[in-house]
DNA sequence: GCGATGTATGAAGGGATTGTGAAGATGAAA
DNA sequence: TTTCATCTTCACAATCCCTTCATACATCGC
C-alpha cells in the first residue's frame, strides 16, 4: 500500500517534474494548482504528506496551512523562493515540517520527503522491487543485491541502475540518462554517463569487459539486458 | 493519438529536416517561419511541444515566448546559435524547458524532445512497433527482433530497416535511402547502401542469398517485402 | 550468347564512438 | 577548517562502423 503525496504549486512544469520523481520512488501522487483545490483534494484523498508552494494565486500556502491544520496533522514540506528568515519562522509556526528553497534539486527534495516521513513515524514506501536475472533493486530500501550479496552503490549509480532496470531492453541515450539522474535542465557532459556506467559495471558485472546486464548500444546509449 | 510538435524557424531547410525526423518518430508536425505565424498556429493547433529558434524576422523567439507563456504552458525547446550564458538564462527564465545549440545533430534533438516530454509528464509517442512477418522493430526500445530473438544492429542498419519497414512493398532508390540515413546533406556514394543492405541481410535473413524480407528491385533500389 | 549495366560481397583504411584511469572540482561531514 | 567520498572532466587507448574499392556475380537488351 503505497503512500500518497499531494503536490501543490501553480507552476505546472514544476509540479510534473516533482511528480515524476515521486512516482519513480514508488509514491502515489495527487496535484493541485492552488490552495483551494489543494484543500478539496486533501479532504478527499487524505495524503500522507503535502509538498506546498507558498506563492500561489487564489489561496496561498499560508492560508492553506491555516485552514488545513485545523482538520489534519498531515506533515508538510514548504517550497519557497524567498529564503528569508521571516518566511521560515512563519511557515514553521504554522506547522510545516520542513522547507526547501527554490530552486532545489529533485534529489534534495526526495531526501527531505523520506526524512520527514521517517520523522513523523511513517515508513517510506516499500519500493516495488525490480528484479532482472540475478540483480535485485529495492527502491524503498535503496539497496541492490547481485546473486544474493549486497552491493554498495553511489547515489548516481543507484539512480542510473534504477532507470535502466525499470525498462529492461529499452535503449536510453546518454542525454536521457543524464536528464533522469540530474533532473531539470541538462548542463553537463554526456560522457559523464560513460564513467558512471563503467563504475556500475565494475560493481555488478562478473566480467566488466563482457557485460551481461548493462549493454552498450552503439551510437545510441545503454540498456539493461532483457531476460 | 500522436503528439503534435510545432517547429518554428526561418531556415526552411532546417525546418524540413527536423520535420522528417520527428515524423519518423511518430509525431505530427506543424511549422512556422516566425513568431507571428507561430502564435497563430499555436492557438489553433495547441501543440504538445514547441521547438523554437531565437533569431527570426518579424517576431523573434523571446517575444514569442513572452506572449505565448501568458496563454499556455506548452513545453518549449529553444534553438540557438549563440551559446552565451545571457541567452540561456533569459530563455530559461522565460520558461524554456531546454535549449539546443546550433549546429545540432538530429539524433540529439530527438533525445531532448523525448526527455522534455517525459519530464513534463507527457509520454513519448507509443514507439509505434513495426511488424512484418517475423520481423519486429520497436522504435521506442530501439530494438529489433526476428522470430523472437533480439538482433543487434548498427545505427545505419537500424535507420535503414526502419525506413523500409515503414512502407512494406514500396521500393526506395539508393538516393532516397542515403538521404534518410545521412540526414539531408547527400554527399556520399550510393553504393554504400548496398553494403548496409548486405550486412542487414546477414543479420535478419535466414538465407542472405535468397532474401525473404529485403528484396532487390533491379534498376530501382530496395524494398521490404509486403506480407 | 554477349556486352553493358546493375548488384553482391569481402577486405581495408580512416573516422567516429566507447572504455578507462587519473586528476581536478564539488560538496558534505567531522 | 580539514577530510573524505562522489561527481565531473580530460586524455588516450581500444573498439566498432562507415565508406570506399576491387572483384565476382546477376540481369537486361540485343
Q: What pLDDT is attached to residue A1? A: 46
Sign of the Cα torsion A130, A131, A137, A138 reads positive
A123-138 as b/e: b if 16+ CB within 10 A = ebbebeebebeebbbb
For residues A77 and A91, give the distance between their C-alpha atoms in angstroms, rounded to a whole number: 10
Which residue's entry shows cell 516495488? A128
Q: What pLDDT is attached to residue B91? A: 53
Element (DSSP H or E) covering residue B130: strand B129-132
Sign of the Cα torsion B75, B79, B85, B87 reads negative
Q: Considering the entire predicted model, what is its pTM?
A: 0.70
When CB atoms are compared, the residue of B75, B112, B154 closest to A218 is: B154
Residue nearest to nucleotide C17 (CA to C1'): A219
The answer to whether A196 CB sits below 7 Å from nucleic acid chain D is yes
Residue nearest to nucleotide C5 (CA to C1'): B219
Most confident of the ranges A186-190, B42-46, B69-73, B220-224: B220-224
For residues B155 and B135, give the distance between their C-alpha atoms in angstroms, rounded to a whole number: 17
Q: B132-170 pLDDT, tens per residue?
A: 989 999 988 899 999 989 999 999 999 999 999 989 999
For residues A124 and A139, give the distance between their C-alpha atoms in angstroms, rounded to a whole number: 10
When CB atoms are compared, the residue of A12, A19, A171 closest to B143 is: A171
The distance between the two most distant Cα atoms of chain A, rounded to a whole number of Å, is 60
Q: A80-93 pLDDT, tens per residue?
A: 765 555 555 555 55
What is each CA distance from A213 to A146, A152, B62, in whole angstroms?
11, 17, 45
Instruction: Assess whether pLDDT exceeds 60 at residue B84.
Output: no
Q: What pLDDT is attached to residue A149? A: 87
In chain A, which residues touch B (CB < 8 A)?
12-13, 16-17, 19-20, 167, 169-171, 173, 175-176, 179, 184-186, 217-220, 223, 226
A150-178 average pLDDT score: 89
**Which domains does chain A show, CATH number per domain?**
4-121 (3.40.50.2300), 129-224 (1.10.10.10)
Alpha helices (H) in chain A, listed in sequence order: 12-24, 35-45, 61-69, 85-93, 106-119, 155-166, 174-182, 192-204
The answer to whether A13 CB sits below 7 Å from nucleic acid chain C is no
The answer to whether A154 CB sits below 7 Å from nucleic acid chain D is yes
Q: Are B119 and A171 inside 8 Å of each other by CB?
A: no
In chain B, which residues touch A (CB < 8 A)?
73, 75, 92, 95, 97-99, 107-108, 111-112, 114-115, 118-121, 140-143, 150, 154-155
Which residue's entry shows cell 546550433? B102
When CB atoms are compared, the residue of B99, B115, B142 closest to A217 is: B142
Instruction: Assess whether pLDDT exceeds 70 at residue B45.
Output: yes
User: How, if at all, do strands B98-101 and B76-80 pair?
Assistant: parallel
The answer to whether B195 CB sits below 7 Å from nucleic acid chain D is yes
For residues B184 and B174, give the distance between their C-alpha atoms in angstroms, rounded to a whole number: 14
What is each CA distance from B34 to B11, B59, B91, in whole angstroms?
10, 6, 17
Amino acid at each position: 500500500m503505497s503512500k500518497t503525496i499531494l503536490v501543490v504549486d501553480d507552476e505546472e512544469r514544476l509540479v510534473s517534474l516533482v511528480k515524476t520523481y515521486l512516482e519513480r520512488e514508488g509514491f502515489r501522487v495527487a496535484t493541485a494548482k492552488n490552495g483551494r483545490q489543494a484543500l478539496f483534494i486533501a479532504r478527499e484523498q487524505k495524503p500522507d504528506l503535502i509538498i506546498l508552494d507558498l506563492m500561489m494565486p487564489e489561496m496561498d500556502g499560508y492560508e492553506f496551512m491555516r485552514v488545513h491544520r485545523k482538520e489534519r496533522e498531515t506533515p508538510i514540506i514548504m517550497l519557497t523562493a524567498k529564503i528569508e528568515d521571516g518566511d521560515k519562522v512563519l511557515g514553521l509556526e504554522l506547522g510545516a515540517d520542513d522547507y526547501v528553497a527554490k530552486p532545489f534539486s529533485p534529489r534534495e527534495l526526495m531526501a527531505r520527503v523520506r526524512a520527514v516521513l521517517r520523522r513523523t513515524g511513517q515508513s517510506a514506501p516499500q519500493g516495488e522491487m525490480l528484479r532482472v536475472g540475478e540483480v535485485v533493486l529495492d527502491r524503498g530500501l535503496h539497496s541492490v543485491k547481485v546473486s544474493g550479496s549486497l552491493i554498495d552503490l553511489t547515489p548516481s549509480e543507484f539512480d542510473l541502475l534504477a532507470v535502466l532496470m525499470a525498462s529492461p531492453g529499452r535503449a536510453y541515450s546518454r542525454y536521457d540518462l543524464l536528464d533522469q539522474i540530474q533532473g531539470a535542465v541538462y548542463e553537463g557532459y554526456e560522457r559523464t554517463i560513460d564513467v558512471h556506467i563503467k563504475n556500475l559495471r565494475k560493481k555488478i558485472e562478473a566480467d566488466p569487459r563482457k557485460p551481461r546486464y548493462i549493454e552498450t548500444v552503439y551510437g545510441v546509449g545503454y540498456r539493461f539486458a532483457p531476460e
